[in-house]
Copies of this chain bind each other. A is one copy, B any other.
């Protein structure tokens, strides 16, 4: 009998991970209660079975892949159902939440009898033609990494208990997305101060790899900016009020919030950024 994996969260990442697991031989369920017909259609098109909460609790593995703000709510909602389940599996929280929030999730689920793991997904959603992101896991049973690898995921252990994988996600996203926020800020300032053409020429000569990274990652960010606001706030909370990095990531949240608003308005900031990136 194939391994059954239930995914809570049917977003771009959750659906793509589900497809990858199906390719790896698994049966994949998705908790779709309250989701739109469009989401249901997309999930079914991916070969994933929409499922009710009671069926989710019968899975071998449960992955929580939801927006950061929903992670603790998911744990609270599923705790009684997991406690009631006769067979106990493994629950992995793959959300981009800070280690303290992850420890809250762990506490909420501690009495259910399930093995609870902290997970972090690093990289873009898997596609048929790429190796896919990496799945880091800390806490819980060490055997889980081999089980995930057997299902076709690039799985790695992070030494440490619940919180360690979330911390890795925070620091990696802080570097990766923070760099995009920094570039966004300075390229807009270049455009506003008439120094964009000189900046482009100077970067092309003295930091070509960074210019190429901006050209790739800044336009990629526009449609995701609204989601990154909460991620930056998670990083600020992770760093804590005594770290100057907390104020730094509060500011990053504002940077992405401006881009998110721009996407809902006339896209003026995005086209300014595109112009600077093209050397215009």
List residues of chain A with CB under 8 Å of any chain B CB.
Answer: 99, 122-123, 134, 136, 156, 158-160, 163-164, 167-168, 170-172, 174-176, 178-179, 181-183, 185-190, 193-195, 197-199, 202-203, 206-207, 209-210, 213, 238-239, 243-248, 250-252, 254-255, 257-258
Taking the closest CB of chain B, its distance from the CB of A260, in whole angstroms, is 12
With A195-B171, A197-B159, A199-B172 as known contacts, state yes or no: A248 contacts B245, CB within 8 Å.
no
State the CA gap A189–B136 with chains docked (Å).
18
A to B CB contacts below 8 Å, 20 in the list: A122-B202, A160-B194, A164-B193, A164-B194, A164-B198, A167-B193, A167-B195, A171-B186, A171-B187, A171-B195, A175-B203, A179-B179, A182-B248, A185-B244, A189-B238, A189-B243, A193-B238, A244-B252, A245-B251, A245-B255
Residue of B nearest to A238 (CB): B189
Can you add 20 more A-B contacts, CB < 8 Å, to A159-B198, A189-B243?
A: A158-B198, A159-B194, A160-B195, A164-B194, A164-B195, A167-B194, A170-B189, A171-B187, A172-B203, A174-B185, A175-B182, A175-B210, A181-B248, A182-B182, A185-B248, A188-B243, A189-B238, A244-B251, A244-B255, A248-B248
With A156-B198, A248-B252, A258-B244 as known contacts, state yes or no: A167 contacts B190, CB within 8 Å.
yes
Determine whether the beta carbon of B170 is less than 8 Å from that of A193.
yes
Taking the closest CB of chain B, its distance from the CB of A120, in whole angstroms, is 9
